[in-house]
Amino acid sequence: MDTAALSSLTGLLDGVDQLGELLPLLPVLVALELLLSADNAIALAAIAREQRDPGLERRALNLGIVMAFGLRVGLILMAQYVLAFPPIQLVAGSYLLWLCFRHWSSGADPSGEGSSGSSSQPVRFSRTVLTLAITDLAFSIDSVAAAVAISDQLLLVLTGALIGVVALRFTSGLFIRWLQIYPRLETAGFLAVGFVGLKLLVLMALPTLHPSELFTLGAVMGLLIWGFSLRESTAAEES
């Protein structure tokens, strides 16, 4: 989710046509981005965690986020054409649902060794980086559409995208550590991924349906509260 996806912020951002007018709002937008990118961040953290090496996890996140920003910029520049193409929402929603189902189907092999043993480390690393970038792009479909609708100033929209990916990198790094402490958090994150994917498909099938984004926010926050409701013991955390 993204701050631009919240219709309640449209009145705040509407009419902001110069970067100087946006600067006083930046602290609020950054704080909101940190909060609202939680569902995306958990998914990216879980994907990066497949490397099973802290250094490779950070490197994969850095490269994936850089690539994700490039894809977001491309989506923004081509938004007029891409977002008017209905199958893009179908592909994004289906991809997010596939990520959710893949998590459940691989649950029997939590170490990830069974699925990666046949792949070389460079291939597995490259695949992780690409998956990170594509996952962020799928999450960005609705937020980019909302951002373009709020302001036609390209610099402002790109600034918002940059704030979003920086916040995403920060929260993803936190969630990599938290996934080791809170055993329910990864499941909650992938449930949120499936929820967002299902929402995209429902909105494509029923374009006249306009659910409140606050409902989406509430559902995601509820899943996160459940994810943080169980903590590993101190001994397990220290190990």
For 155-168, the pLDDT digits (tens) are: 666 777 777 788 78
Please give the pLDDT value at position 226. 92
16-25 own/partner pairs: CB under 8 Å, 24+ apart: 16/151, 16/153, 16/156, 17/151, 17/153, 17/156, 18/153, 19/155, 19/156, 19/159, 22/156, 22/159
Q: What is the dihedral sign for C-alpha 13, 16, 19, 25?
A: negative
pLDDT in tens, 20-79: 655 665 565 556 565 667 778 888 888 888 888 888 888 998 898 889 888 888 887 777
Better-predicted residue by pLDDT, 238 or 198 = 198
Domain regions of the chain by residue span: 3-110+117-238
Give the model's pLDDT for residue 75.
80
pTM: 0.73
The mean pLDDT of 216-220, rounded to a whole number, is: 80
Under the banding of pLDDT at 50, 70 and 90, the label for residue 169 is confident
> What is the 8-class DSSP label of residue 18?
S
What pLDDT, on the 0 to 100 scale, is given for residue 25? 58
DSSP string, 140-197: HHHHHHHHHHH---HHHHHHHHHHHHHHHHHHHHHHHHHHHH-TTHHHHHHHHHHHHH
Cα–Cα distance measured from residue 116 to residue 127, given in angstroms and rounded to the nearest whole number = 11
Closest to 28 (Cα-Cα) out of 173, 158, 160 = 160
pLDDT exceeds cutoff 50 at 83 = yes
**Residue 39 vs residue 197, higher pLDDT:** 197
Q: What is the predicted pLDDT for the residue at 239? A: 47
